[in-house]
């Protein structure tokens, strides 16, 4: 019996397109189905994305990597979602602090601050682990003289920055948060900036920088854009759609569809 | 407000309103739990279904779930209701209506005649009493055929949207994904791009590019850039080659306001697109997307369960004779549909409810990476929908949408579905595949040989 031969074309007709897109084009066919290598590539990408969603941040290692000389120690908070399963079902709980968190914030907030940097796990622990510390370094280097507090937030949504910012009497809250993983990038970090943070702020009152990852925004460029936004926000005393026109953002949401994937 | 009560399962269950009966009768889903509307026990859920089964269909005409005075979608539903079409089923309860829909008396012809007499609330109610197989059986009897350059929805056919999205709208990248799809026979429903920005000139560039590709290969299909309806109106004014007007829609006036639309702007866009007379097989010019949970996310659900609000969106769609409508069922996220069980159920509900109302329903068979679902679940849902006669599904290269970061079907998936279930693309497009030498003797689409590649990729 002879070995079966795969009907794979000798030359890749899509070769000249591949540099132009990360899309999974020209995968070949096994009958009507995916060839085995393409099938397993997909499964690995999905597994990485799933593990990013269900992974946990090593908060100790992250704190060790943060520049805390000027900010004081990290303040750790937790949302009202006790675990990941609840977090995924109940975004409302991920936007509220749990019972123990306010006391820790108040203990650390003897005076108002200019900026609360809230590092939130969101939907990608991998993104936070890899990009949060480099971004914080780049941001702090650009705002000498600002009073900054650093908060780490577990099972957190973007809007958890509102009660945190309020408790710290912060002028601005910048939430660094793991974005919903895609198959091509599982460790993308986003930043949501809110002026005068307090519960009840709408998403339209925030500015967003997304796609901070190896093939997207670099930490330095993200910090550059964030500091531009923060400076404007302090002068104009607002964030949100009125700043959006001038904010150089890279957004990849389904712009006109029911839900932009805000973590 | 009237309350409803029933002794069932060893205890008395009371529901404060008709909306509460509807919400509690829904199969369990995370969005209704998030909204605080879901039944808290399984027995209460079944008790609500027992209450619902005994209610007259007419109650939904007498008691609007969202007030007529404050919601233009309710006004549309009430004012366009066709009492004569409704007459044959008007004496029935919701439970009797289910039995009738499943009966042999409910033929494709009688269901088509009935559609203008049904309101979304009646259709949502009966769907809550149906198992998945019931939803498939009745949807399979409802044929809704529409046309632009292709004819979509015919018996024995399965159409597809080719979705060549790119994170920065790179023309070469979009062309690559488009050609890849055409080689799989994908794109007879539409070649439709979700643009990376809502910038008008960028959208017009994409429209021109898609129109050139279509013209170059003389492909009988239509293109669409899924930008806001007001952008499409401006593009038409500026002479862009626009085939279909796209818009996301929802089932309440407030949720539609969140999308920046009203019924009047949709009507304006429909008139503008029709005036271009670009269709050759027909002049259905609107393309709508919907999804359970969109009203709740906009805090515009009025205490009504997410599935019922979703069906009200189909009443909005129906008013504009759309060419295509699809639910983005698994895209919305696990806070609305938690896992594959909920996504599969919702996909079948949405398809059934749309078809029964006379809407040309397709489904984006899809999921996000934070939902409990994977490719195996999409295999299940696409097969169930194709068996139920879904008008179209959506395909992206390798099931991976690199712009929206979610998974839809792959071109492979749709091709396999057609071959296994012996379904063909739209007749006009099928003829083009034959002319291009892409079909074999039995009408199947084998992997293309080198000459076919050269013709398309040259």
The model's pLDDT over B389-428, given as tens digits with 9 standing for 90+, comes to: 999 999 999 999 998 999 999 999 999 999 999 999 999 9
A74 located within any domain: yes
Cα–Cα distance for residue pair B87/B102, rounded to 1 Å: 18
Q: Which residue has the tokens 């007749």?
A: B427
Percent of chain B with pLDDT over 90: 92
Binning pLDDT at 50, 70 and 90, where does residue A3 land? low
A109 located within any domain: yes
Distance from the Cα of A179 to chain B's closest Cα (Å) equals 10
Cα–Cα distance for residue pair A252/A52, rounded to 1 Å: 19
A162-178 core/surface letters (b: 16 or more CB in 10 A; e: else): bbbbbbbbbbbbbbbbb
Binning pLDDT at 50, 70 and 90, where does residue A8 land? low
Distance from the Cα of B56 to chain A's closest Cα (Å) equals 33
A234 located within any domain: yes
Q: If you measure CA to CA, which chain B residue comes closest to A216?
A: B167
B225-262 core/surface letters (b: 16 or more CB in 10 A; e: else): bbbbbbbbbbbbeeebbbbbbbbbbbbbbbbbebbebe
Q: Which residue has the tokens 């990597």?
A: A65
**For the residues A170-182, what does the mean pLDDT come to?**
96
**For the residues A230-234, what does the mean pLDDT come to?**
95
Cβ atoms of B63 and B4 closer than 8 Å: no
| pLDDT attached to residue A211 | 87
With an 8 Å Cβ cutoff, are A255 and B194 in contact?
Answer: yes
Does residue B243 register a pLDDT over 90?
A: yes
Q: If you measure CA to CA, which chain B residue comes closest to A91?
A: B335
Q: How many CB atoms lie within 10 A of CB B453?
A: 18
Strand, helix or coil for residue B111: helix
A91 located within any domain: yes
Cα–Cα distance for residue pair A201/A198, rounded to 1 Å: 6
Does residue A219 register a pLDDT over 50?
A: yes
Distance from the Cα of B341 to chain A's closest Cα (Å) equals 15
Binning pLDDT at 50, 70 and 90, where does residue A256 land? very low
Nearest to A152 by CA among A239, A263, A66: A66
Q: Which residues of A touch B165 (CB under 8 A)?
A: 23
Cα–Cα distance for residue pair B57/B61, rounded to 1 Å: 8
A90 located within any domain: yes
Q: Which residue has the tokens 């609840």?
A: A86
Q: Which two tokens stand for residue B329?
A: 């069922």
Cα–Cα distance for residue pair B270/B253, rounded to 1 Å: 19
DSSP state of B27: P
Binning pLDDT at 50, 70 and 90, where does residue B139 land? very high
Q: Which residues of B touch A25 (CB under 8 A)?
A: 176-177, 180, 397-398
* Contact with chain A for residue B228, Cβ under 8 A: yes
**For the residues B43-65, what does the mean pLDDT come to?**
97
DSSP string, B382-413: HHHHHHTT-SEEEEEGGGEETTTTEE-EEHHH
A240-250 residue pLDDT tens: 877 764 544 44
* Contact with chain A for residue B326, Cβ under 8 A: no
Lowest mean pLDDT: which of A69-78, A116-125, A207-216, A247-256?
A247-256
**Element at A107 (helix H, strand E):** helix A101-108
A185 located within any domain: yes
Nearest to B303 by CA among B5, B16, B23, B2: B23
Q: Which residue has the tokens 């000459």?
A: B451
**For the residues B363-392, what does the mean pLDDT come to?**
97
Q: Which residues of A touch B332 (CB under 8 A)?
A: 258-259
Question: How far, rounded to the nearest angstrom, does the alpha carbon of residue B76 sit from its chain's CA centroid?
Answer: 19
Distance from the Cα of A114 to chain B's closest Cα (Å) equals 31
Full residue range of the structural domain in which residue A224 is found: 57-244
* Contact with chain B for residue A255, Cβ under 8 A: yes
CATH number reported for the structural domain that contains residue A71 in this entry: 3.40.50.11240
Cβ atoms of B97 and B111 closer than 8 Å: no
Lowest mean pLDDT: which of A53-62, A63-72, B23-32?
A63-72
| pLDDT attached to residue A134 | 98
Cβ atoms of B73 and B105 closer than 8 Å: no
Query: Across-strand partners of B171?
Result: none
Query: Across-strand partners of B247?
Result: B288
How many degrees, rounded to 5, is the angle at CA B361 between CA B330 and CA B144?
165
Q: Which two tokens stand for residue B368?
A: 């996000």
**Element at B152 (helix H, strand E):** strand B151-152
Strand, helix or coil for residue A216: coil
- State how far the alpha carbon of A201 is from the alpha carbons of A80, A206, A240, A249, B228, in Å: 18, 8, 10, 21, 25
Q: Which two tokens stand for residue A130?
A: 């890899």
Does residue A2 register a pLDDT over 70?
A: no
Q: If you measure CA to CA, which chain A residue comes closest to B449?
A: A9
Cα–Cα distance for residue pair B21/B4, rounded to 1 Å: 8
A145 located within any domain: yes
Question: How far, rounded to the nearest angstrom, does the alpha carbon of residue B1 sit from its chain's CA centroid?
Answer: 33
Cβ atoms of B337 and B302 closer than 8 Å: no
With an 8 Å Cβ cutoff, are B176 and A21 in contact?
Answer: yes
How many degrees, rounded to 5, is the angle at CA B265 between CA B262 and CA B362?
80
| pLDDT attached to residue A255 | 34
Number of folded domains that form chain A? 1
With an 8 Å Cβ cutoff, are A259 and B166 in contact?
Answer: no
Q: Which residues of A touch B34 (CB under 8 A)?
A: 89-92
A15-41 residue pLDDT tens: 889 999 999 999 999 999 999 999 999
Domains of chain B, earliest start first: 1-55 (2.30.170.30), 146-453 (3.20.20.70)
With an 8 Å Cβ cutoff, are A17 and B450 in contact?
Answer: no
Q: Supply the pTM of this predicted model.
A: 0.91
Percent of chain B with pLDDT over 70: 99
B303-361 residue pLDDT tens: 999 999 999 999 999 999 999 999 999 998 999 999 999 999 999 999 999 999 999 99
Binning pLDDT at 50, 70 and 90, where does residue A251 land? very low
Binning pLDDT at 50, 70 and 90, where does residue A193 land? very high
A230 located within any domain: yes
B184-218 residue pLDDT tens: 999 999 999 999 877 889 899 999 999 999 999 99
| pLDDT attached to residue A250 | 40
Tell me which of A8 and A185 has the higher pLDDT: A185
Nearest to B135 by CA among B122, B126, B146: B126
Mean pLDDT of chain A: 88
Does residue B172 register a pLDDT over 50?
A: yes
**For the residues B365-379, what does the mean pLDDT come to?**
97
Q: Which residues of B touch A90 (CB under 8 A)?
A: 34, 335
Q: Which residues of B touch A23 (CB under 8 A)?
A: 164-166, 173, 176-177, 180, 396-398, 400, 402
Does residue B140 register a pLDDT over 90?
A: yes
Backbone angles phi, psi at A164, to 5 degrees: -65, -50
């Amino acid at each position: 019996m002879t070995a079966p031969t795969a009907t794979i074309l000798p030359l890749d007709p899509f070769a000249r397109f591949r540099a132009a897109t990360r899309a999974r084009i020209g995968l070949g066919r096994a009958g009507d189905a995916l060839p085995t290598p393409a099938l397993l590539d997909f499964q690995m990408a999905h597994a990485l994305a799933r593990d990013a969603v269900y992974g946990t941040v090593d908060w100790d290692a992250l704190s060790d990597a943060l520049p805390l000389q000027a900010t004081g120690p990290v303040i750790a908070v937790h949302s009202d979602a006790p675990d990941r399963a609840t977090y995924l079902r109940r975004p409302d709980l991920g936007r509220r602090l749990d019972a123990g968190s306010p006391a820790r914030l108040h203990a650390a907030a003897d005076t108002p601050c200019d900026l609360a940097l809230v590092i939130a796990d969101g939907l990608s622990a991998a993104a936070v682990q890899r990009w949060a510390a480099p971004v914080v370094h780049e941001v702090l280097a650009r705002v000498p003289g600002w009073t900054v507090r650093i908060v780490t937030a577990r099972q957190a949504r973007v809007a958890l920055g509102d009660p945190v910012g309020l408790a710290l009497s912060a002028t601005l809250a910048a939430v660094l948060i793991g974005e919903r993983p895609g198959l091509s990038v599982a460790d993308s970090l986003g930043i949501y900036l809110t002026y005068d943070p307090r519960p009840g702020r709408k998403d339209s009152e925030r500015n967003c920088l997304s796609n901070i990852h190896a093939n997207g925004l670099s930490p330095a460029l993200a910090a550059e854009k964030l500091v531009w936004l923060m400076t404007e926000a302090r002068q104009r005393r607002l964030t949100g759609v009125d700043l959006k026109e001038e904010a150089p953002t890279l957004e990849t949401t389904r712009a006109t569809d029911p839900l932009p994937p805000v973590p | 407000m009237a309350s409803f009560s029933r002794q069932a399962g060893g205890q008395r269950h009371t529901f404060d309103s008709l909306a509460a009966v509807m919400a509690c009768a829904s199969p369990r889903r995370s969005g209704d739990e998030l909204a605080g509307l879901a039944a808290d026990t399984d027995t209460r859920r079944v008790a609500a279904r027992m209450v619902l089964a005994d209610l007259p269909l007419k109650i939904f005409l007498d008691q609007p779930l969202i007030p007529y005075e404050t919601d233009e979608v309710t006004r549309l539903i009430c004012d366009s209701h066709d009492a004569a079409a409704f007459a044959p089923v008007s004496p029935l309860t919701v439970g009797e209506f289910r039995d009738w829909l499943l009966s042999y008396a409910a033929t494709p012809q009688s269901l088509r005649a009935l559609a203008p007499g049904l309101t979304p609330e009646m259709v949502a109610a009966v769907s809550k009493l149906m198992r998945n197989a019931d939803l498939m059986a009745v949807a399979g009897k409802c044929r809704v055929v529409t046309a632009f350059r292709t004819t979509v929805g015919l018996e024995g056919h399965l159409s597809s949207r080719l979705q060549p999205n790119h994170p920065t709208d790179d023309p070469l990248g979009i062309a690559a994904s488009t050609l890849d799809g055409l080689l799989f026979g994908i794109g007879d429903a539409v070649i439709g791009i979700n643009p990376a920005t809502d910038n008008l000139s960028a959208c017009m560039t994409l429209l021109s590019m898609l129109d050139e590709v279509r013209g170059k290969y003389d492909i009988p299909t239509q293109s669409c850039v899924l930008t806001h309806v007001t952008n499409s109106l401006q593009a038409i004014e500026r002479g862009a080659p626009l085939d279909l007007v796209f818009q996301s829609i929802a089932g309440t006036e407030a949720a539609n306001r969140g999308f920046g639309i009203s019924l009047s702007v949709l009507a304006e866009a429909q008139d503008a697109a029709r005036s271009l007379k670009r269709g050759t097989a027909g002049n259905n010019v609107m393309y709508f997307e919907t999804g359970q949970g969109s009203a709740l996310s906009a805090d515009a659900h009025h205490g009504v369960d997410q599935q019922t609000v979703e069906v009200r969106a189909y009443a909005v769609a129906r008013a504009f004779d759309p060419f295509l409508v699809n639910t983005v069922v698994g895209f919305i996220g696990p806070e609305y549909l938690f896992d594959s069980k909920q996504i599969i159920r919702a996909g079948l509900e949405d398809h059934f409810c749309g078809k029964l109302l006379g809407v040309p329903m397709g489904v984006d068979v899809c999921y996000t990476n934070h939902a409990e679902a994977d490719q195996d679940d999409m295999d299940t849902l696409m097969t169930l929908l194709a068996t139920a006669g879904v008008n179209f599904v959506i395909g992206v290269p390798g099931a991976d949408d690199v712009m929206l970061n979610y998974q839809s079907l792959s071109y492979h998936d749709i091709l396999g579905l057609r071959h296994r279930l012996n379904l063909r693309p739209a007749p006009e497009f099928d003829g083009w595949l034959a002319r291009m030498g892409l079909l074999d003797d039995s009408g199947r689409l084998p992997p293309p040989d080198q000459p076919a590649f050269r013709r398309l990729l040259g």
